[in-house]
């Protein structure tokens, strides 16, 4: 029944989020090709492209993807199940520690609002997965410690060097393996060795040399993973984010404020939000160091009070668990999330267990030495009150308070879980509570961009930049909106601003090069591609994009060279295959070109650009009947495809289907009014259909767009002569 209560409470609380959408950086699941491909299973261990190194977590997600695909409901059920499992394992560990009402601690953890973010947000599965693994490690250690390291055998080990050597060869292997799995899910569990030593002190009153040696393998794993994590943070996760510049004093003050913040939110979980406001620490005031004085005073008082008393040592152990698991996320080491906010609910998920354990122990004061012993004694004596067949408590007021507490937390958690139903709901909620956060406006802008609300998206990004003028991410996202609005000049100015802030961002430089090409500035675009290739000679995407740019400019031979190099670097690039085919067509080798375009279609069957290019190449070879189905397929895959409409019109005209051809060319011009060639092709068809004046207007439009368009000049002169000869005065 107790197990069922924890599971039922978890399901009820998180059910509002089960029907939700992908959130924030859930792209790690939905867009991570390593999770979708078999080859990614090895790559995530030895060459991950992710911003952090967590191969057990990514392997778990790889399995989940191959089971569930993009069924988000399944991921929500999975994270909620792991959260419930963590609550059950916490109950088990606390029972082993003799904590009174250990089950209440598990239930409190399951229903606590601070845990909602880690469960309702699928991308935080690293929390809900690492916590059960950590508890399995601690449970295995406690079992090993109970069996192998009684107080008597430990005392004897100091008197016999031979016995010590034999004992020293024994380590809690099962616990160590579970710990390695946990730390490869989330690196913030690296403080577990300190928890082991804290447990030794709590149990025996001292930490001896054998205890340090037992903890040594755990410490080694923590040190190694800590170094790996710092490298990934500095070289991957912090990307184009300008972290707040803080001196030692500001870092210390921020860490103390974070401790106070997390403690307060765990005790009074109100006004929770995904992104919290920043604190002003430039420079920190004396008052902002007060949390450290409080922490020092509390632990010093407990230490002095704890001589010969069990209760203070219990408090030190519970508070120690809380503080130790906060150490990696307090900001002493640079962390990418500091760009967003100094604190977050998901960062104290592990620490929460220490406080709910203390709460359960406090609620059970006056019972026996453990939950199991107390339940048996009270049932024998008939003095126990069992509520709903679940909870055993000795005093009615404590029962009532516990029930009210659990119920209140559960209702608040369910309400908060509903905030995580989709991105717009989450960020609108957050904006109302934290209107001065640049990160909130960046995320709002991203959702608005995704929903094609481009004007709203621009306003959100501009507000983010106003709040944080050095926010490279906001500048980059704003540039991409302008690029999608076909305003390349505005996009260029923002891309250049990003590169002023973060000159090494290859992705932004590639976007700048494309925007320059779209703006009709091919020389500048070529210079950016050349720099990308110079900085990284193995950049296949830069080689391919540079090749396409050169081909569009008529430099087919140079284009061919770069595209061949791109394919040598990345043989699976369907885009490079397609563009190489067009370069060969431009070089007068259409048969070779067609082979490459067909290979691109084999690699990616739903590739409208390749279908269009194949149709264009076949039509150029006089094989219009073969070309037409490919051009029609291109339009099926991409209905608003001006170039395919133009090419289909040309192919239809060549087969004598002029009325259809005119219709498609008119569609092409609606989609792309500045296409001089489409104007010319339509004019030729209109003239053949006897619609001379319409043809004249399109020829004039073609020359206005492209004054050196010689075929249009000749056709215009010829048409004017015909109109004059027929007694009609051509319009000027």
Spatial contact of 458 and 478, defined as CB atoms under 8 Å apart: yes
3-state SS, one letter per residue, for 283-331 = CCCHHHHHHHHHHHHHHHHHHHHCCCCHHHHHHHHHHHHHHHCCHHHCC
Spatial contact of 679 and 648, defined as CB atoms under 8 Å apart: no
Residue-wise pLDDT tens digits, 520-553: 999 999 999 999 999 999 999 999 999 999 999 9
Angle at 242 between CA 238 and CA 247, to 5 degrees: 100
Spatial contact of 225 and 57, defined as CB atoms under 8 Å apart: no
Specify the pLDDT at position 244.
Answer: 67
Spatial contact of 254 and 342, defined as CB atoms under 8 Å apart: yes
The CA distance from 375 to 146, in Å, is 22
The CA distance from 193 to 513, in Å, is 50
pLDDT below 70 — which residues of the chain?
148-170, 239-245, 306-308, 310, 364-398, 727-732
Specify the pLDDT at position 521.
Answer: 95
Q: Which residues contact 723 (CB under 8 A, 6 or more apart)?
A: 692, 693, 696, 729, 730
- Token reading at 77: 């059920």
Specify the pLDDT at position 166.
Answer: 47
Specify the pLDDT at position 245.
Answer: 64
Specify the pLDDT at position 338.
Answer: 81
Model confidence, pTM = 0.78
Residue 113 is given by DSSP the state G
The CA distance from 39 to 257, in Å, is 44
Spatial contact of 354 and 319, defined as CB atoms under 8 Å apart: yes
Residue-wise pLDDT tens digits, 186-224: 999 999 999 999 999 998 888 988 889 999 999 999 999
Specify the pLDDT at position 154.
Answer: 46
């Amino acid at each position: 029944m107790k197990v069922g209560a924890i599971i039922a409470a978890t399901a009820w609380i998180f059910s509002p989020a089960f029907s939700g959408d992908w959130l924030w950086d859930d792209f790690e699941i939905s867009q991570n090709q390593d999770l979708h491909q078999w080859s990614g299973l090895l790559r995530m261990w030895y060459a991950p492209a992710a911003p952090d190194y967590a191969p057990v977590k990514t392997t778990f997600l790889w399995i989940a993807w191959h089971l569930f695909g993009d069924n988000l409901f399944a991921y929500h059920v999975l994270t909620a199940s792991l959260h419930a499992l963590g609550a059950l394992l916490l109950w088990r560990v606390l029972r082993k520690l003799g904590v009174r009402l250990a089950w209440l601690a598990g239930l409190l953890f399951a229903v606590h609002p601070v845990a909602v973010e880690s469960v309702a947000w699928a991308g935080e599965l690293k929390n809900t997965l690492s916590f059960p693994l950590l508890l399995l490690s601690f449970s295995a250690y406690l079992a090993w410690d109970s069996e192998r390291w009684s107080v008597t055998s430990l005392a004897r080990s100091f008197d016999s060097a031979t016995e010590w050597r034999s004992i020293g060869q024994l380590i809690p292997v099962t616990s160590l393996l579970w710990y390695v799995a946990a730390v490869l899910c989330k690196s913030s569990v690296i403080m577990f060795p300190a928890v082991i030593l804290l447990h030794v002190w709590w149990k025996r009153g001292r930490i001896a040399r054998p205890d340090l040696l037992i903890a040594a393998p755990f410490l080694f794993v923590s040190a190694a993973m800590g170094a790996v994590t710092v490298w990934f943070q500095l070289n991957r996760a912090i990307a184009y984010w300008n972290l707040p510049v803080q001196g030692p004093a500001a870092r210390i003050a921020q860490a103390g404020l974070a401790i106070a913040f997390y403690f307060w939110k765990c005790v009074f979980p109100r006004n929770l939000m995904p992104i919290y406001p920043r604190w002003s620490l430039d420079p920190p005031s004396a008052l902002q160091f007060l949390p450290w004085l409080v922490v020092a005073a509390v632990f010093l008082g407990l230490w002095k009070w704890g001589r010969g008393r069990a209760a203070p040592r219990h408090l030190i152990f519970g508070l120690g668990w809380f503080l130790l698991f906060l150490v990696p996320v307090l900001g002493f080491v640079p962390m990418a999330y500091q760009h967003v906010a100094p604190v977050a609910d998901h960062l104290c998920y592990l620490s929460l267990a220490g406080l709910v354990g203390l709460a359960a122990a406090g609620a059970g004061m006056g019972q026996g030495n453990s939950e199991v012993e107390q339940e048996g004694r009270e049932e024998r004596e008939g003095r126990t009150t069992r509520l709903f067949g679940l909870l055993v408590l000795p005093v009615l007021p404590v029962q009532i308070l516990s029930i009210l507490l659990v119920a209140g937390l559960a209702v608040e958690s369910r309400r908060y879980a509903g905030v995580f139903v989709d991105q717009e709901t989450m960020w609108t909620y957050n904006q109302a509570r934290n209107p001065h956060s640049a990160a909130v406006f960046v995320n709002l802008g991203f959702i608005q961009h995704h929903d094609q609300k481009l004007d709203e998206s621009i306003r959100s990004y501009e507000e983010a930049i106003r709040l944080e003028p050095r926010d490279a991410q906001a500048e980059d996202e704003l540039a991409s909106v302008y690029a999608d609005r076909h305003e390349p000049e505005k996009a260029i100015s923002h891309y250049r601003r990003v590169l002023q802030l973060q000159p090494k961002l290859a992705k932004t430089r590639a976007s700048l090069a494309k925007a320059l090409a779209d703006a009709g500035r091919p020389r500048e675009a070529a210079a950016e591609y050349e720099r990308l290739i110079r900085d990284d000679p193995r950049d296949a995407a830069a080689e391919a994009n540079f090749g396409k740019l050169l081909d569009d400019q008529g430099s087919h031979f140079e284009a061919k060279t770069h595209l061949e190099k791109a394919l040598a670097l990345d043989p699976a690039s369907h885009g490079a295959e397609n563009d190489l085919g067009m370069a060969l067509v431009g070089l007068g080798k259409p048969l070779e070109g067609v082979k490459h375009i067909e290979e691109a279609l084999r690699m990616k069957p739903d590739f409208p650009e390749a279908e269009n290019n194949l149709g264009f190449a076949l039509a150029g070879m006089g094989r219009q009947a073969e070309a037409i189905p490919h051009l029609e397929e291109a339009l099926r895959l991409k209905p608003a495809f001006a170039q395919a409409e133009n090419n289909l019109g040309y192919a239809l005209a060549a087969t004598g289907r002029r009325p259809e051809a005119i219709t498609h060319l008119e569609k092409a011009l609606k989609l792309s009014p500045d296409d001089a060639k489409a104007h010319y092709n339509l004019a030729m068809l209109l003239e053949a259909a006897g619609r001379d004046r319409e043809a004249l207007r399109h020829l004039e439009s073609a020359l206005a767009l492209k004054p050196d368009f010689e075929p249009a000049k000749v056709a215009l002169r010829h048409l004017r002569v015909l109109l004059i000869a027929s007694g009609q005065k051509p319009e000027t």
